[in-house]
Chain A
Amino acid sequence: MYLKTGVADKELVSNALPTEERRASGPYAIIECFQEIPCNPCTEICPFGSILPMDDINDLPRMDYDTCTGCGLCAAICPGLAIFIINESYSDTVASVGIPYEFVPLPQKGDVVKMMDRAGEFVTDGKVLRVVPNKKYENTPVVTVEVPKDKVNEVRFLQLKQEAEVAMPTADPNDEENLPDTTIICRCENITVGEVRKMIDQGYDDFDELKRLIRTGMGPCQGRTCRHLIMQEISRKTGKKFEDIELGAFRPPTKPIQLEQLIGGKEDV
């Protein structure tokens, strides 16, 4: 599901957590980076070597929880904002979570903010304990918030104020064709999909043929926007593979230029 929704599965998250014992014994960083991408700043920033060196820059980060102090530098530097600082032993009653937060205005110490889960759903209120601006680390502030102990590994975002729910009403089924003939496909020359289809039906099946006959791609952009759309339409209607459709000629200049700028030039001719 992660690949479809962007919300990490529970299992992925729980596997990233240290042992119960370690969780109870002071702050730690949790790295919610579950996809191999070429990226390694976290391994280089950690002053304790707790994020183990990678053999390959695409490796997933690995954590040595024995040495991690939860200092928070990794949370500040991670370009993916995927590292959070958890302190489950913050007090007897509450835990704290440090969240990288790149929005303005920043919350202030003492503010009560809404805490959201990985899918943006409201979970609980939380009190801001501190805001570290991290100027040295490209200004990614880490906001640490006090939350109930059982919610600390659920909440991953904060909001300062109530925002409108995302409404997704279902409309009446749209009975029109998905792409009616009147849709514009070539903006420079104001040519519709219908005109293009009509020509394809007559057997014209490459870009230059259409260009000559109905001027698609003849305007000032020379097809920069419409060339691919027209090729897609040819492909769709004829069943030809996209790569088998000829792109047509590319001709200078790349953008229009006033004739008077070309007056002269004789010394080079």
Chain B
Amino acid sequence: MSNPKTANVVIIGGGISGVAIAWNLAKKGVKDIVILEKKTVCSGATGRCGAGIRMQWGAEQNCLLAKMSVEFFENANEILEYDRDVEFDQGGYLIVAGNEKENEQFKKNIALQNSLGIPSKHLTPQEAKEIVPHMDETQIVGATFCQKDGHLNPFNTTEAFAKAAERLGVKILKKTKVTGIDVKNDKIVGVETTGGYISTPLVINAAGGWAQEVGKMAGVDLPLYSERHQILVTEPVELIQDPMYMAFSLNIYIQQTPHGSFIMGRSNPEEPRDLRQTSSWQFLHEMINTCTTLLPPLRKLNLVRQWAGLYNMTEDAQPIYGKVDNVEGFWLACGYSGHGFMLAPATGILLTEMILGEPLSIDITNLDLGRFERGELCFETSVV
């Protein structure tokens, strides 16, 4: 099969965002969509992430985006006609507060979340322990819980989108790296790849950790940077923990997958800004010290593997959605700052609506590239 020479839309990046956008565009009748993936689908941040999804956010817009995604994920196997299972495990998110200040903020968040129809609730440490019995409740001052939150299998979820997109005619070119973006008279005209040149009027930058580099190819210096986040997985054990356990103040999340293994990740505020995806031994100590303090019995688990993936960060830890004003045909779906996976269903729907000029299901026009110049940042405090 030779690669296409022309396309109506070229999406750079075969992660969850890229395939979700492709599927949505194709479903709306857009033809000749090509996804360019430098390695294999799901080999970047998507395949390395914790794949959690929560509606417990501190900003209204994020709550709504997450809610849209949860509702999609609940029916993803059926909507995407997937022959396997995206493994959406709605065991909830238990978000613990390490201090009173955080606890008070959580109470405010819950009021907001409940007003938006998100069934979250505030818990005392004792109530939290009923949900995660192996926790040391003395380490926390309170918690919030939403049963509808949960986590998925990121590989299967991405495959489900990718296969559904391919059935609608989307071409996914794996091991095809973008080497240049052809811009003439401030207009996208094509993309140079290791598999040949593709003429196209429209390029979507969904390159995750490499979005800044892709931006430069089109002559745009995007206000993005990447940093590695590390994660580890244990050997499988009996299922003992339903919810994702998360602590913003300690920068950690800990979940048990349906397979039985525990996956846990931690952010390091001092992480340098670069494209390294290597692992460090320091992470092991930091992660395990925190984990075994909060959930002491987990000390008996066996570590099998550690790895790292890239967060693509913006100054306000919110994604950039929309077009680039001075390069016609260049669209952005990047800068997720660590929550690109959970936003993907919404990303697919909303970016498609934007590109096709349709009314937006949720107003995300404030998440445009221009907000950084305008100084209208959209801060969200509830992040790891």
Q: Which residues from B are CB-within-8-Å of A260?
A: 288, 292, 299-300
Query: In chain A, what residue has the closest Cβ to B163?
Result: A202
A213 and B159 in contact, given A206-B40, A220-B235, A259-B292 (Cβ under 8 angstroms): yes
Residues of B319-355 contacting chain A, CB below 8 A: none
Query: In chain B, what residue has the closest Cβ to A219?
Result: B304
Binary contact track A252-269/B, C-beta < 8 Å → 1, others 0:
110011111011111011
Binary contact track A220-261/B, C-beta < 8 Å → 1, others 0:
101000000000000000000000000001011100111110
A258 and B304 in contact, given A206-B40, A209-B40, A220-B235 (Cβ under 8 angstroms): no
Binds A, one of B28-36, B136-144, B278-286: B278-286
Q: Which of B156, B292, B303 contacts A253 (CB 8 A)?
A: B303
Is B307 located at the chain interface by the 8 A CB criterion?
Answer: yes
Q: Which of A252, A256, A259 contacts B299 (CB 8 A)?
A: A259
Is B298 located at the chain interface by the 8 A CB criterion?
Answer: yes
Is B374 located at the chain interface by the 8 A CB criterion?
Answer: no
Residues of B101-133 contacting chain A, CB below 8 A: none
Pair count A-B, CB < 8 A: 82
User: Considering only CB atoms and an 8 Å cut-off, how many residues of chain B contact the other chain?
Assistant: 31
Residue contact B302 to A259, C-beta cutoff 8 Å? yes
Q: Which residues from B are CB-within-8-Å of A265?
A: 281, 284-285, 289
Is A208 located at the chain interface by the 8 A CB criterion?
Answer: yes
Q: Which range contains the number of A residues in contact with the other chain?
A: 20 to 34
Is A4 located at the chain interface by the 8 A CB criterion?
Answer: no
Is B155 located at the chain interface by the 8 A CB criterion?
Answer: yes
Query: Of A252, A257, A259, which is in contact with the most chain B CB atoms at under 10 Å from its CB?
Result: A259
Expressed in whole angstroms, the Cα–Cα distance for A258 and B297 within the complex equals 12
A269 and B307 in contact, given A259-B288, A259-B299, A264-B289 (Cβ under 8 angstroms): no
Is A212 located at the chain interface by the 8 A CB criterion?
Answer: yes
Residue contact B279 to A251, C-beta cutoff 8 Å? yes
Query: Of A256, A266, A268, which is in contact with the most chain B CB atoms at under 10 Å from its CB?
Result: A256
Q: Which of A249, A257, A266, A268 contacts B303 (CB 8 A)?
A: A257
Query: In chain A, what residue has the closest Cβ to B307?
Result: A251
Chain A interface, DSSP helix/strand/loop, else mixed: loop
Residue contact B304 to A262, C-beta cutoff 8 Å? no
Is B291 located at the chain interface by the 8 A CB criterion?
Answer: yes
Query: In chain A, what residue has the closest Cβ to B282?
Result: A269
Q: Which of A208, A209, A259 contacts B291 (CB 8 A)?
A: A259
Q: Which of B159, B300, B306 contacts A252 (CB 8 A)?
A: B306
Q: Which residues from B are CB-within-8-Å of A206?
A: 40
Residue contact B43 to A208, C-beta cutoff 8 Å? yes
Q: B41 to chain A: closest CB distance in Å?
A: 8
Is B234 located at the chain interface by the 8 A CB criterion?
Answer: yes
Q: Which of A209, A218, A251, A258 contacts B306 (CB 8 A)?
A: A251
Residue contact B43 to A262, C-beta cutoff 8 Å? no
Q: A79 to chain B: closest CB distance in Å?
A: 42
Q: Which residues from A are CB-within-8-Å of B40?
A: 204, 206, 208-209
Q: Which of A212, A252, A263, A266 contacts B292 (CB 8 A)?
A: A263
Q: Which residues from B are CB-within-8-Å of A269?
A: 282, 285-286
Expressed in whole angstroms, the Cα–Cα distance for A209 and B37 within the complex equals 13
Query: In chain A, what residue has the closest Cβ to B159?
Result: A213
Query: In chain B, what residue has the closest Cβ to A257?
Result: B303
Residue contact B288 to A213, C-beta cutoff 8 Å? no
Q: Which residues from A are CB-within-8-Å of B286?
A: 269
Expressed in whole angstroms, the Cα–Cα distance for A258 and B41 within the complex equals 32
Q: A212 to chain B: closest CB distance in Å?
A: 4
Q: Which residues from B are CB-within-8-Å of A213?
A: 155-156, 159
Q: Which residues from A are CB-within-8-Å of B50?
A: none
Residue contact A259 to B285, C-beta cutoff 8 Å? no
A222 and B234 in contact, given A213-B159, A263-B292 (Cβ under 8 angstroms): no
Q: Which of A209, A251, A264 contacts B305 (CB 8 A)?
A: A251
Residue contact B307 to A258, C-beta cutoff 8 Å? no
Expressed in whole angstroms, the Cα–Cα distance for A208 and B37 within the complex equals 15
Query: In chain B, what residue has the closest Cβ to A212?
Result: B155
Q: Which residues from A are CB-within-8-Å of B47?
A: 212
Query: In chain A, what residue has the closest Cβ to B285?
Result: A265
Query: In chain A, what residue has the closest Cβ to B264?
Result: A259
Expressed in whole angstroms, the Cα–Cα distance for A213 and B47 within the complex equals 10
Is B152 located at the chain interface by the 8 A CB criterion?
Answer: no
A259 and B304 in contact, given A252-B279, A269-B285 (Cβ under 8 angstroms): no
Expressed in whole angstroms, the Cα–Cα distance for A265 and B234 within the complex equals 19
Expressed in whole angstroms, the Cα–Cα distance for A116 and B302 within the complex equals 55
Residue contact A259 to B306, C-beta cutoff 8 Å? no
Expressed in whole angstroms, the Cα–Cα distance for A163 and B307 within the complex equals 57
Is B360 located at the chain interface by the 8 A CB criterion?
Answer: no
Is B301 located at the chain interface by the 8 A CB criterion?
Answer: yes
Is B42 located at the chain interface by the 8 A CB criterion?
Answer: yes
Residue contact A257 to B302, C-beta cutoff 8 Å? yes
Q: A263 to chain B: closest CB distance in Å?
A: 6
Query: Of B41, B47, B159, B285, which is in contact with the most chain A CB atoms at under 10 Å from its CB?
Result: B285
Q: Which residues from B are CB-within-8-Å of A256?
A: 235, 302-304
Q: B291 to chain A: closest CB distance in Å?
A: 7
Q: A234 to chain B: closest CB distance in Å?
A: 13
The 11 sampled A-B contact pairs (Cβ below 8 Å) are: A209-B43, A222-B304, A251-B305, A252-B306, A253-B306, A256-B304, A259-B298, A263-B292, A266-B285, A268-B285, A269-B285
Since A256-B235, A266-B289 are in contact, a sample of 4 more A-B pairs with Cβ atoms closer than 8 Å, ordered by chain A residue number, is A220-B235, A222-B305, A253-B303, A264-B289
- 3 closest A-B pairs by beta carbon, nearest first, are A265-B285, A260-B299, A212-B155
